[in-house]
Amino acid sequence: MMSLLGIAAIALVIVILFQISKAGEMLNELGNTKKAGDTNNRVQANLFLWTLIFGLLAIVWSAFHYSPMFLPEPSSEHGVGIQRMYFWTLVSIVPIFFITQILLFGFAYRYKRDETRLSHYFPENNKLELIWSAIPAVVMVLLVTGGLRQWLKITGPIPEDQQEEVITIEATAQQFKWDIRYAGPDRELGKKAVREMSDDNPWGQDWADAANKDDFVPTEIYLPVNKPVMVKINSLDVLHSFYLPHFKVKMDAVPGIPTQFWFTPTKTSAEMQNILDDPGFVYELACAELCGKAHFNMRKEVYIVTEDEFNAWMKEQKSLYSQFAAPQKNADVDTEQEKDEKVNVDKTVSAL
């Protein structure tokens, strides 16, 4: 309701401004040209000045008023770096914004038409142009270089010394849900193929690949604190976007083009509840791409827990193989190789 009123108020102001300028033009045409023209110029110049004053005040007010709704300090290692980038980007652009707006509206006010003043002819100034081209260019290069460094870090491989403890998950988006497949105890996601997809095998896992036999798809996302998490992202239908706002993780899910992202959570859900003094706080996964009418439905809860809690949770999970594929295999074991496979699978399943 408030936003509708706001839009109506803005529309009204635009109509009033239009009518004022139209009235000025009509007075001009009526013959009293000089006097009406000067009045019109004065009105326009004053409007520029008031727009500047109210506009800047509104911007400063809204920045402070809405700051309690900003996200808390990031809960991931790389999130701190991204937060630092936001800070330096704002430091670079906010002063420029204020300077350019003051010059833009201020000049329109200060240099309104005045018969007693002659225009100054100012064709070019190489020194000035060099300064206002070079400074933004240097600032842009610094910001882009900082951004690229962060980007290469979060999309690149996990450092050697952390490879051992990585948790690999695969996020598959579809209208309107996320399915998260965990690599299981072997820390390796099994291969998939479209031809394998069926009601009993919704992700098309290739059961011939041993790495598939401990993969599981839970209903909630549990992740251990302080361990690197590699997320492999894909989509079954349209564009979606894997968004964990508190961890500053955001990556598009593109059909046919797998993307990936890795991050290290640094605060458990319980710690975050204490920090925010909110016992009901839950981390969430959202879809950040407007992907259809039930887009909102893609919300999923994320729990960051200690390593022990995570291992206990892992043990409770049932592999997809044990639920869908294993009974069929048991029915027609006839070769030595298949017998061996079955023994291995049973070991993996019991390990879970």
Name the site residues for Cu ion (rule: CB under 5 A). 240, 287, 291, 298
Q: How far is the CB of 240 from Cu ion (least distance, A)?
A: 3
For the CB of residue 201, give the shortest distance to Cu ion in the complex, in Å. 23
Residue type, 178: W
Minimum CB separation of residue 157 from Cu ion in Å reads 27
β-bridge partners, 249: 244
The Cα–Cα gap between 167 and 205 comes to 19
**Residue with smaller CB distance to Cu ion, 233 or 287:** 287
Q: Which residue has the tokens 């009601």?
A: 199
- Which burial class, exposed, middle or buried, applies to 341 when counting CB atoms under 10 A from its CB (0-12, 13-18, 19+)? middle
**Tokens read off for 54:** 């109210």
Q: How many helices and strands, by DSSP H and E, does the chain display?
A: 9, 9
Neighbours of 329 (CB within 10 A): 14
Least distance (Å) from Cu ion to the CB of residue 252? 10
Closest CA to 78 of 225, 228, 300, 206: 228
CB of 242 to Cu ion, least distance (A): 9
Q: 33-65 vs 2-29: helix axis angle to the nearest 10?
A: 160
Q: Nearest 10 degrees: CA dihedral of 232, 233, 234, 238?
A: 180
For 115, 161, 212, the CA distances from 201, given in Å and listed in that order, are 82, 35, 11
CA-to-CA distance for 100 and 336, rounded, in angstroms?
Answer: 78
User: What's the min distance (Å) between Cβ of 231 and Cu ion?
Assistant: 15
Residue pointed to by tokens 């006839």: 334
Identity of the residue, 173 or 320, whose beta carbon is nearer to Cu ion in the bound complex: 173
Question: Minimum distance between the CB of residue 150 and Cu ion, rounded to whole angstroms?
Answer: 25
In the complex, minimum distance from the CB of residue 245 to Cu ion, in angstroms, rounded to a whole number: 15
Give me the sign of the Cα torsion angle 298, 299, 305, 308: negative
Cβ 179 to Cu ion shortest distance, Å = 12
Q: Which is nearer to Cu ion, 244 or 291 (CB)?
A: 291
CB of 320 to Cu ion, least distance (A): 23
* Helix segments in the chain, DSSP class H: 2-29, 33-65, 77-110, 126-155, 269-276, 307-316, 320, 326-331, 336-351
Question: CA angle 266-242-94, nearest 5°?
Answer: 75
Alpha-carbon distance 242 to 238, whole Å? 13
